[in-house]
Chain A
Amino acid sequence: MILTDEEEAMYGGAQGPAVQWAIDQQISVGRAFGASRLVPVNRAHMMGDMEVLGESGFQFLKSLHGQQAKVRVPTTTNARCVDFAFAERLRQDPAMVAREADLRRTLAGMGVMLTDTCINYQTIDQPHFGQHVAWGDTGTVIYANSVYGARTNFESGPAALAAGLTGRTPEYGFHKPENRIGTLVVEVTAKLDDLADWGALGAVVGRQVNDYWQVPVFVGIDGPVSSDALKHLGASLASYGSLAMFHIVGVTPEAPDLETACGGGLPDRVVVADDAAIQAVFDSYPMVVDGPFDLVVLTGPQLSLFELERTADLLTGERVHPETTLIVTTNAQNRQAAAELGYLETIRSAGGLVLAGVCFYLMAVPTMRQAFGWRTLMTNSAKLANIVGGYGLQAVFRRTEACLAAAIKGGRRDG
């Protein structure tokens, strides 16, 4: 790899051990992907919470902090594992909660901004076309690449922090134009009415194409498309397929037409997404109980203000079933706005819990599952349904209205 004089100095330790650690990591990663240089980034977005770090990762960050580590470009945090106002109510491990508080101080001490959101692209930061960033949480990455035309790879916690410390990232993958060209076509004829339909569309593609280096190009989707629809599509593609970029012809900036999105040629591979394919995704999460669900969860990604408004609307004058826990997660900005607009009170008075700064699947779910004896979960998030199977919960993925109807009635409501 070719390094600038400043990068050589970082590598040699002239800017301290934390920066040296960071650039050494980046050079190793760059070499593994054949990168020839580092590119400047002016934003980093990192995942770093106790659930994912574990004790060893926590100690690692403490030692980095002890080496006077300071980020040099604005570095924001992804959704975390604890909303302190609800930790006791949700019977989260007190030791983990205490550690999380300590971890927050450690990150803040390194100059990291504790935004605690996986929808930074809707509320905090909107990168411009061609801007190189180093973002983590796959949902943020695929949105930045696809919708804004910004350039980032999946940056895991240590990698995003390294980028924050050096202001650089290795140039490979989606930083390079040749890797952003469409590699398969998705012909969409399905009706996409609910956000869950967009998540299901992501699952249709992601289940067939599990390869980071593939870029699907959707045709047949007429705009306008909401930011929340693109959010659920992207989060699901990333979750089911480990995908980091998509195009929608006529909607996203690098796809004015199919030929341009595909770099002048047309890919051989075509995936059809019709109503039956969407329904098959819902059917792959069959109803597991006749009685009330233990959990109904709207999360993954955190809800926008528009989603909170719709949730409140569907819960107006209703009451969540006594045997069901309804959990909704968003970020601090949207919860504040929802409070001012009255949505929060509507959801609360119906019995729903509105958590901020967290995403449900990050909250050390197995601990809560054991504490409450939870077995079944209904959600409108294709991503969440995909994840919680590994946590011992049986997930049922359905459209938003069906989820909230199940939360209210407790009983079996399909559709």
Chain B
Amino acid sequence: MRPRGPRARLVPDRSFLATSLLAVLFLAPDALFAQDEAPELLTAVPETPALAFLDATTARVLRPGAVRDFALALLSGTGESGTARQGFALEATPWLFVPGLAIDGRRYRESRLAFVLANAQLSIGTARADGDDADTDLALGLKLTLADRGDPLRSEEFRRALGEELLACAPAQPDPTPSETCAGRETAEAWEAWTAERWNAARLAVAAAWGARLHASELDERDYAGWRSWAVGAAPLGHRGQLIAQLAREERPALGEKPAFDAWTAGARVLAGSPQINGFLELLAESREVDEVAVEGDAEPPEEDDGTGIWSAGIEARVAEGLWASAGFGSRFAALHEEDEKTFVAIGLRWGISSAARMDVLPGTAE
């Protein structure tokens, strides 16, 4: 039930930024779209931990809401011969499948346990294993939101106001084909206004995923494939600032041609400003230990990565709906979603264009 990040309504003065961006497009064409390979700082735990473990994405994630639908979804993940289908993804809220269990608004507001339970998400995913088309990697993930001061449904004030707006949507006479337009509009407007005002609210979420490799995609022929876990918290710094901290751990056994490794990643980001324009400083450190593997002939053994530390700082501004421009410096400068962003170097700064903002609050929980 996690709120989406605030969507800015105000647009800052764009002329300077637009002119600068256009200028560097001509001045530094060769540097365009140079991307770092360094790890990204997370601003939220993965929405679907099982897919994050597999480093996979899929356009279709099944989200059943009842036991029967859940069972059918699970069945759809296996082929006629009982083997796992590759590219299958399922996400579910487990408490919905517990008979007789109800978490109404009052319990959601007043009980921490009910809140955590209502927002717990289980995910299952499969992907084709590296190096062998017949093998399938399977992962099971769990995401828990432990706290969220920005959740509208935990606010009595928000709930009362939305209740009044929804009641105003009720028709005067019974309508055999009622429209959802009014209820959707009122909910979205109230939700967006609430979350925009609380973009920097305190939040804490954890997630973990475990994996197995299924040989020839057979469920009975599997090797343990390790685990990953994430913890991401955010805290407000006054009314115009936010601190985000991230800790992640990964342990993988040797699998196929890949050596065993384990890694810690820790990072933090400080933001100050508004959802329209802000300054930021971020730090990210990774410590990775890779087991040595036997190497045949004269080939060089794989390098051990002792760890890396990177930092960056800069400013970011919204130039249009869904378009963010940023400028910064540091040992690495990149934005939230590497698939959405392009960066380039000009005038001693690295410039970035992104479809998302660093100011966005942690996305997605309670569903």
Query: Do A and B come together as binding partners?
Result: no
Interface of B toward A, CB cutoff 8 Å: none
Q: Which residues of A contact B (CB under 8 A)?
A: none
